A and B are shown apart, each in its own frame.
Chain A
Amino acid sequence: MIVANRKSLEEILNMLKPYKKVLLLGCNECVTVCAAGGEREVGVLASELKLSRAKDGQEIEIKEQTLERQCDHEYIDQVRPFVGDYEVILSIACGAGIQYVGEKYRTKIVLPGVNTTFLGVTLEQGVWSERCQGCGECVLHMTGGVCPIARCAKSLLNGPCGGSSNGKCEVDKDLDCGWQLIIDRLKELNQLDRYEEIIPVKDWTTSRDGGPRKRLREDLRL
């Protein structure tokens, strides 16, 4: 899933300073799972905002709405009947959702209520961890199913640097060394000989470096 963190109340209040009528939009997908921008978070944020503004004598009207997805226009269209009643949209979907809402309502200012961080998994209740950077050319079959791009702090493709110690990364004592994980897994899979192969320089054109990406499936187009 796409993992996001809600921005601090202070930062959101600051962005909302000039406005009195706000449409607060949550999303039922990834940000719901990572507890940053789902229906529950919409409710909590709305209450916090109203309370703070009331304390400052700056009443605020907030319409709470959580869409099935903010990355598909058919769901974004659902707020069309009343979007005009509000001065500003505060979206707590991921960065893709926030932008897409803005693309659909071009005269509306859309403010981000979260910081979008990474593609990851739920480790346990309340803990999420990065797994993928969407580089566009997967090498997991060569690295024991553990991604060196996302999980090594230096994205090294040919093994651990000299800072790997007791399974941890030099960057942070609480961070697993990605290459330790790769080597452990290769051993479990009886594939340690794969480590001997030199992985050549990577073609980054499939990643962000090639410019903003677009995917096309002719067979699915109408």
Chain B
Amino acid sequence: MKTKSNIERILESGGFVVTSECGPPRGADPEVIRKKGNLLKGVVDAVNVTDNQTSVVRMSSFSSCIILKEMGFDPILQMVCRDRNRIAIQSDILGAGALGINNILCLSGDHQKFGDHPKAKNVFDIDSIQLINTVKILRDDGKFLGGEEVKGKPVLFIGAAENPFADPFEIRAARLGKKVKAGCEFIQTQCIYNMEKFTKWMEMVRDRGLHERCAILAGVTPFKSVGMAKYMKNSVPGMDVPDGMIERMKGVAKEKQSEEGIKICVETIQKLREIPGVRGIHIMAIEWEEKVAEIAQSAGLLPRPQV
């Protein structure tokens, strides 16, 4: 074991990992985080905390991680390259190490055009692959990007995201290969609805042997309604929702749609567990955290191994 990460420990023991996420509030009320946290107690092995997702200003991922840490969770600090240069990034990584955050998820970040401050200047001093490598260099070599020695290395389990449905599809596994080469130890994927394409992507991942060097956690998001399914299909960049899914949601009465969404999600998890190389599930129930326990239970993912 390189770190004190709960997910690293479970993966090393050959276990199947369950993670979920917690979106910080648009304000300074810590109770929002605690409330969301309480819904995930005993249900997940680690909790992602998003970093100003969709470029909308929220409570920082870092501070929300600390609130969850105090509740006994093993938080995953999401960090995007949109808002920080290499100086701020390395500084935050040191802080995360100091405060006992064990996991980091390295992301490029959504473009600010989508958020509530579209007139902002973006940074993108480094990209997500370079960020992965930055964490690795700090942790394993005890060096800053500038070459100086780190006094007290930050010990974080290194993760990243990958979207198997984005284009150009043919280089998606190669891109994951670059992440693994840079030091990535676990991957959480974009929400999976198109099982056929995901299966194909996993084949490409296995052909390169990447699943043995990096744990693939498959991402799922339950639909609350047919409206949400359509929105995900048409308006969320990089999302692949097959027409069949929309039809299936349409096929049930409005008041039964959320139930159907959960059902689809549970079935998806069951199929994903059968795919060689899938080492865990990442459940992203967007502003629907109260359903994570039910999904995990129905999918046979509970109880979770004791910390």
Interface residues of A (CB under 8 A from B): 153-167, 170-171, 177, 179-180, 183-184, 192, 195-196, 198, 200-202, 204
Interface residues of B (CB under 8 A from A): 81-82, 86, 108-111, 113-114, 122, 124-130, 133-134, 145, 161-163, 166-168, 170-171, 174-175, 177-178, 181-182, 190, 237-238
Residues of A within 8 A of B126 (CB): 201-202
Selected from A160, A163, A192, A201, the residue in CB contact (under 8 A) with B110 is A163
Given contacts A163-B166, A165-B237, A158 and B122 within 8 Å (CB-CB): no
Residues of B within 8 A of A179 (CB): 168
B238 touches A170 (CB 8 A): yes
Given contacts A153-B111, A154-B124, A157-B130, A163 and B174 within 8 Å (CB-CB): no
Identify whether the interface residues of A are mostly helix, strand, loop, or mixed.
loop
- How many pairs, one residue from A and one from B, have CB atoms within 8 Å of each other in the complex? 98
Q: Tell me, in angstroms, the Cα distance from A97 to B16 when the chains sit together.
A: 64
Q: Tell me, in angstroms, the Cα distance from A155 to B124 when the chains sit together.
A: 7
11 contacts between A and B (CB under 8 A): A158-B127, A159-B171, A159-B174, A160-B168, A162-B108, A162-B237, A163-B237, A164-B167, A201-B125, A201-B130, A202-B125
B177 touches A163 (CB 8 A): no
Q: Tell me, in angstroms, the Cα distance from A180 to B168 when the chains sit together.
A: 6
A171 touches B113 (CB 8 A): yes
Chain B, Cβ-Cβ closest to A157:
B127
A162 touches B190 (CB 8 A): yes
Selected from B109, B122, B125, B167, the residue in CB contact (under 8 A) with A166 is B167
Q: Tell me, in angstroms, the Cα distance from A160 to B190 when the chains sit together.
A: 14
B167 touches A165 (CB 8 A): yes
Selected from B124, B161, B167, B170, the residue in CB contact (under 8 A) with A156 is B124
Residues of B within 8 A of A195 (CB): 171, 174
Q: Tell me, in angstroms, the Cα distance from A200 to B146 when the chains sit together.
A: 12
Other contacts beyond A155-B124, A163-B166: 20, CB < 8 A: A153-B111, A154-B81, A154-B122, A154-B127, A155-B127, A156-B124, A156-B127, A158-B128, A159-B174, A162-B190, A162-B237, A166-B167, A170-B114, A170-B238, A171-B111, A198-B129, A198-B181, A200-B130, A201-B134, A202-B126
Residues of A within 8 A of B130 (CB): 157-158, 198, 200-201
Chain B, Cβ-Cβ closest to A167:
B167
- Closest beta carbon of chain B to A215's beta carbon, Å: 24
B171 touches A183 (CB 8 A): yes
